[in-house]
Structure 1
């Protein structure tokens, strides 16, 4: 009996020890965490970033997640932070894998697919220098999308203008076709841009600049004579005013204005009548005055105002540069020292006296008919373009 009891006790101790050791082995085995991953966006354009959030990943108590192993397909990163951002500078589809590791060596992995859209390429063909008056066409049809998407076009036709009035001079949409055409009507440098947009909303912008040059013209001057006339009737003490612009498109070189009064039906007294004529050119600050005279009983009363050499008369052809013939004409007519007589001319006629006043208490001549004739010598510029592109 003693031996059996001793044997039985030994077996019991061995069994308890075996159970105890088995329990210790279970506690030391690795425990796996659970990886969870969220992204703010899974489709982006080249150069944009994706935010990856693995902070909801867990590990059984009492273990802790100690590291996050990121494989972005274009780069790898080991971080203790469950929130990271990654910029993708290459197009394509990338499988991003996250492995979370806890403090007992357990790990779990999860992946997400990110699509990176390639940017379109904006391209422009067209001239870099033109002369004024040219219709310029810029062509953006050579723009491309690496993924063969359909492109949209947005042209800003002039950075010096804010056509949508939003305060930004470089975001206007002046044209949405693949080409932009405009008239180069004034000299100087003009700048703008083309933005192309692919079917996924990616954009690419390129700028353009064109130098617009003045045109060259030869100018010669041709002398011409222009005659204008008016007539009417004035009673004694009345006045009549005439306003006209004789110098449109030309320079005035000289003029002669003659006022002629009709003969009286009953020339009982000589001289018959007396009118005053005044001419004023306000823009030139000049005026002149004359009274009519009757040189003999058989002639009409007349009065004349005359002036010559009012402006220089160029004898030789001269070369000028300007944006257009019209702009050059304005430049020539406003040239310092050569614009006398420009603008309105005002003629004022006054019947000072109509003789005879009374015959037997009757006034046989209360007024008189008159005629004013003005002959202008004008210089007309002949403008011919030279050196056309």
Structure 2
């Protein structure tokens, strides 16, 4: 009705923002996109509402691992504002910067974004329509080992949800963030209450059932006791609820710990399928056109293999490929140096550069990506 009338009235949230938030909280990012685009086209809420609508559009794009679209929407939000963002929108923008940096695996950018977010959170209080940013910051705090510095804020978030009776619509994404934070912090005690909450909510929430299964899969992978079929189901479930980056990350991590080669190949294929860029229907770029699918680099959740700075499809230079083979043989930096006549420090630099280029967040993911880069992760003919 507001779109059709083209009028502006003062509201805490526009109908489009409320609808988009409900959609994002229930795993329906596509619906959020549709509602937000229609509202922006119609000018719902007038100029004052545009920045927040664009920021929510950016959040939906980030959640679906469309970083470029997210940044475009952020730019539109900043341009649409003729005065400084409100504290709650500035907080949302800061959390977006953190989320994009975390998914881009740029540690330096993540630290800078985190410092800005810590300042932004001092200017807001917890409210029902600003819960998603707290989930992103909860995960990042665990990754950066900064949880204690923001613990009192997070306590406020859980207290707020407790007063609402832990309503599934609003609490399920936060409990999923709690699961991820506990996994990063290697805290079984911290994981248990969030996992239990997701299981309870599964009776009434499809998203909760998907996230509960994904949490169970993560625990089994980290314990080294998992079935590839269960992990694949969980990863595809995450992708189906608008969380493809999380799904690809789960499948990729499991592939790194698979004992059977066929399971590794299956899980890597799953990661490639659920990741948006990897599943794109658009034509491959010129340097990869015509290449068999098995030879295409995995568009990994933390980055892609690409061809940047390299001499072949793997993106690795000849020297880096030498180092990669020795890494896969389990050689130390000293042993690598002795084998190819370089210093251990130079060997370490080569490994760090390959890790950044291939988008690996840890050593396990690096090993998987190196196997692919050297052609050892392809299925047999």
Work out which of the two has the higher radius of gyration on C-alpha atoms and give 1 or 2: 1
TM-score by length of 1: 0.17
**Higher RCO (CA-CA < 8 Å; seq separation 6+):** 1
The answer to which structure has the higher helix fraction is: 2
The answer to which structure has the higher strand fraction is: 1
